[in-house]
Amino acid sequence: MNFIIDPNLAYVFLIIGFVVSVLAILTPGTGIIEIAGIFALVVAGFGIISTPNNLWALILIVPFLPLILLYRSQKKKYYLILAILFLNVGAYTIFRKEEGGFSVSILVGLITFLINAPIIWIIVKRITEALDRPLDFDPIKIVGMVGEARTNIAPEGTAYVDGEEWSVRSVEKIAMGTKVKVIGKDGLTLIVEPLNVIESLEV
């Protein structure tokens, strides 16, 4: 298991663990991402405790996730910049040599930073934008809209509403071609009623 205690490898696993953890927090899913993140952090943790370390560097690493969450809620870019800097500086300085100085290669640290910084930046920004993007379809807005029965509705059928064909249901029979009004929604099925004469003239 000597490869695990190599500071350079442990450092890379530490960075990977936190990057994957960001994905897991912002886009929780099947658990595979979470498991990968935990595995990377466990490997990194073993490397930290198996080699000389500067535990004070944890003070720099700890703010990483809170800063990501602050960026997620407030959209201030400096939170994201600080998060990336804290993570990379903290992860690099946590590994030390017996005789003094840091044990992670400067080249490894620089290359890892140049790779993970833009990845974190792009991932966090894209996910945040995607999560905050308004829905293309608001199910509440379709209630009250007027459409046309494409089939006989007795009590179920199909109607054309808001540019799409929908499965619909009505408490009364509605003939094909009749104008209908959406009065409710049950899952992917619209609840409709026939338009009365006055409403039909207004439409």
Residue of higher predicted confidence among 32 and 78: 78
Q: What are the helix and strand counts (H, E) for the chain?
A: 7, 5
Q: Distance between CA 98 and CA 82 in Å, rounded? A: 30
Domain-wise residue ranges, the chain: 7-132, 146-198
Q: Distance between CA 185 and CA 203 in Å, rounded? A: 21
Q: Is 188 left (phi over 0), alpha (psi -120 to 50) or beta?
A: alpha
Q: Whole-prediction pTM value?
A: 0.64
From the options 3.40.640.10, 2.60.130.10, 2.40.50.140, 3.30.1360.80, give the CATH code of 146-198.
2.40.50.140
Share of the chain above pLDDT 70, in %: 90
Strands 164-169 and 189-194: parallel
What confidence tens digit (pLDDT) does each residue in 28-64 have? Answer: 766 788 899 899 999 999 989 988 999 999 999 999 9
| Residues contacting residue 21 through CB under 8 Å, at least 6 positions apart | 37, 41, 65
Q: Residue 171: count other Cβ atoms within 10 Å of its Cβ.
A: 10
What tokens does 130 get? 């995607």
What confidence tens digit (pLDDT) does each residue in 100-153 have? Answer: 889 999 999 999 999 999 999 999 998 888 877 765 555 567 888 999 999 999
pLDDT of 90 higher than 80: yes
- Roughly what angle, to the nearest 10 degrees, separates helices 7-26 and 77-93? 150
Q: How confident is the prediction for the chain on average, in pLDDT?
A: 87
